[in-house]
Amino acid sequence: MAKSNDFWVGIICALILGGLLVYGFMPREVVNEVEVEIPGEVITVIEYVNQTVETEGEFDFESTYLDAAHDEFLDEYEEDSLYLECDGVEYDEDEIELKWFKDFGVSVDDDDWEDYSVFYSVKFKYLDDADEKCYQTFDVEVDYEEDETPVVSAVLA
């Protein structure tokens, strides 16, 4: 009697494990095929439905949000004296080097990520032809709102 129970327990475990494996390899796209009959015609409509599956894992916030926010900062300030000057000396863009980013974060104003802010600190090195160096650090915040142009604010830290 004990061997028979072990056999059935093994079969049930194998079926459960097989079901989980099949579920893991199945696509998450559902295809609904609907036939609509119009007198004299048959029309087939294929509808693709994408299902989102929530997973836990790592997400590269830096390349997704920080790079886009920094591009917005450069677009906004590329010709501004705040960015081009260091210690009263004006530099060309090709004389300015990015040293580092730090204190990076994202603040979400609503649950659907339509309104959010990206903030970070960035340090630039200014180097002229005479190899004289100057450094400046900016605290930057870029506010994104649904269907609006991002608003960039930067201050010297």
Mind listing the pLDDT tens digit for each residue in 82-120? 778 888 888 888 888 888 888 888 888 776 677 888 888
Q: What torsion do the CA atoms of 121, 113, 153, 95 make, to the nearest 10 degrees?
A: 50
Residue among 107, 106, 100, 152 at smallest CA distance from 121:
100
Task: Check residue 42 and give its pLDDT.
Answer: 65
Question: What residues pair up with 101 in beta bridges, in sequence order?
Answer: 122
Q: In which band, very low, low, confident or very high, does the pLDDT at 3 lie, cut at 50, 70 and 90? A: low
Helix (H) or strand (E) run with residue 67 in it: helix 67-77
Confidence of residue 17 (pLDDT cuts 50, 70, 90): confident
- Provide the percentage of residues in the chain whose pLDDT is more than 70: 71
What is the rounded distance in angstroms from the CA atom of residue 114 to the CA atom of residue 52?
18
Is pLDDT larger for residue 56 or for residue 131?
A: 131
